[in-house]
Amino acid sequence: MDITRVGIVGAGQMGSGIAHVFALAGYDILLNDIDQTALDKAIETVTRNLDRQVSKEKISQEERDGALGRIATTLELSDLGGMDLVIEAATEREAVKVAIFEELVPHLKPETILTSNTSSISITRLASRTDRPEKFMGFHFMNPVPVMQLVELIRGIATDEATYKTLLGVVEALGKTAASSEDFPAFIVNRILMPMINEAVYTLYEGVGSVSSIDSAMRLGTNHPMGPLELADFIGLDTCLAIMNVLHDGLADTKYRPCPLLTKYVEAGWLGRKTDRGFYDYRGDAPVPTR
């Protein structure tokens, strides 16, 4: 199938990043959210990031202007009905995603491919709540989308070969690399990454090391670009907890039990960078460890 028009549901950090890379690759984008403020902020973010690419001479001014001209926004989910491909990039809560699909599906063309940017939820289960499980896939981008080269492609049990090959071609058109995953909880990246972050939180919880010592040890001892607790703050502690719960519930293995300290931070509303406090406090000039 020839994909030229792409609808994106959710104008948050992931949705705006996905809109950025698709528009830059020449696709016409319709970005949807229930909040006009979120849509306005998304356009500001895309503009700022495109300007940064121009300043670093990664793209031209003409490419920047063309990309911005290809992004439109809407508050009406039904407006996405004419798209060739729809990417759901709403919050990582299954009930929210299912509600979006149930509202959206009656407006879609029969041939439209429907995808979710979920980082952990069963693609087979999400697909079963639509009228097109054979044209449904997991389309998981990494954050920040304009920078990260990987896209996980996850087939549900009913996904057909034509849908998979179409999305494989889209990933190539974006200049990114696809990794194909089977539909098991958290797929590949988060199946490996989140337990590492959770173990870092246990290391903090048990007093083995402080926030600073844990992050320094992993940056300098394993050459990671950022420590696991700093990375958790960047991802969002609520997202980390949600993925650990999916792993724990889906695989029924105690090694995926979320650390109680991670749960406590989320209960406090200390979700990381997006709330200015997590394992670090970001309200000052420089981040300060909170433990």
CA distances to 166, 225, 231 from 102, in Å: 24, 40, 34
The Cα 194–Cα 92 span in angstroms is 14
Read off the pLDDT of residues 39-81 as tens digits, 9 standing for 90 and up: 999 999 999 999 999 999 999 999 999 999 999 999 999 999 9
pLDDT at 92: 86
| Mean pLDDT over each residue of the chain, to the nearest integer | 97
Sign of CA dihedral 34, 9, 11, 98: positive
The Cα 128–Cα 71 span in angstroms is 30
Read off the pLDDT of residues 80-89 as tens digits, 9 standing for 90 and up: 999 999 999 9
- Determine contact, residues 14/141, Cβ cutoff 8 Å: yes
The Cα 4–Cα 130 span in angstroms is 22
119 belongs to the catalytic site: yes
Average pLDDT over residues 20-24: 98
The catalytically annotated residue of 16, 116, 190, 198 is: 190
pLDDT greater than 80 at residue 1: no
190 belongs to the catalytic site: yes
The catalytically annotated residue of 32, 88, 116, 152 is: 152
Secondary structure class of 172 (helix, strand, coil): helix
Tokens (6 digits) for 10: 């959710």
Tokens (6 digits) for 270: 């200390």
Read off the pLDDT of residues 221-260 as tens digits, 9 standing for 90 and up: 999 999 999 999 999 999 999 999 999 999 999 999 999 9
140 belongs to the catalytic site: yes
CA distances to 47, 102, 177, 178, 181 from 172, in Å: 24, 30, 7, 8, 17
The catalytically annotated residue of 140, 181, 198, 230 is: 140
The catalytically annotated residue of 16, 49, 116, 119 is: 119
pLDDT at 240: 96
pTM: 0.90
